[in-house]
Amino acid sequence: MKKLGLILVCFLLTTTAFATDKKFGFAMGFNNTFYSGSDYDDFLKVGWPGMLDNQGRRLRAESAFRLAPEFGIFLEIPLTEKIAIQPEFNLIWLSHRYTVSGGADSNLYKERSRSETKMFFEFPVLVKYELILGSVRLTPFIGPSLLVPVTSEIRRDVPKNDDPSKTGEASMIFAAILGVGYSMEAGPGFLYADLRYRRQLTGHEYLGSDDGKPTEKTAKMKANKVGIRVGYGFNF
The H or E element that residue 125 is part of is strand 112-129
Any domain includes 104? no
On the question of pLDDT at 214 being above 60, the answer is no
Q: Output the domain CATH number for residue 82.
A: 2.40.160.20
Q: Which residues contact 15 (CB under 8 A, 6 or more apart)?
A: 22, 75, 77, 87
118-147 burial, b if ≥16 CB within 10 A, otherwise e?
bbbbbbbbbebebeeeeeebebebebebbb
Measured in residues, the chain has a length of 236
pLDDT value at position 167?
54
Q: Pick the residue with more confidence: 187 or 42?
A: 187
> Which stretch of 13-17, 75-79, 139-143, 225-229 has the lowest confidence by average pLDDT?
13-17
Contact 122, 80 (CB under 8 A): no
Any domain includes 79? yes
- Average pLDDT value for the chain: 76
pLDDT value at position 118?
83
Going by pLDDT thresholds of 50, 70 and 90, the confidence category of residue 36 is confident
Any domain includes 101? no
Cα–Cα distance for residue pair 182/202, rounded to 1 Å:
29
Going by pLDDT thresholds of 50, 70 and 90, the confidence category of residue 223 is confident
Any domain includes 102? no
Q: What mean pLDDT do residues 154-180 have?
A: 68
Q: What mean pLDDT do residues 177-186 have?
A: 93
Domain range for 217? 2-52+63-94+117-235
Q: What mean pLDDT do residues 69-92 have?
A: 96
Q: Pick the residue with more confidence: 43 or 217?
A: 43
pLDDT value at position 48?
53
Any domain includes 103? no
Contact 89, 73 (CB under 8 A): yes
Any domain includes 106? no
Any domain includes 110? no
pLDDT value at position 211?
46
On the question of pLDDT at 56 being above 70, the answer is no
DSSP string across 45-75:
HH--TT-B-TTSPBPEEEEE--EEEEEEEEE
Going by pLDDT thresholds of 50, 70 and 90, the confidence category of residue 165 is very low
Going by pLDDT thresholds of 50, 70 and 90, the confidence category of residue 13 is low
Any domain includes 177? yes
Number of structural domains the chain divides into? 1
Contact 166, 213 (CB under 8 A): yes
Count of beta carbons in the 10 Å neighbourhood of residue 108: 11
Contact 143, 178 (CB under 8 A): no
Cα–Cα distance for residue pair 205/214, rounded to 1 Å:
10
pLDDT value at position 43?
60
Q: Pick the residue with more confidence: 230 or 165?
A: 230
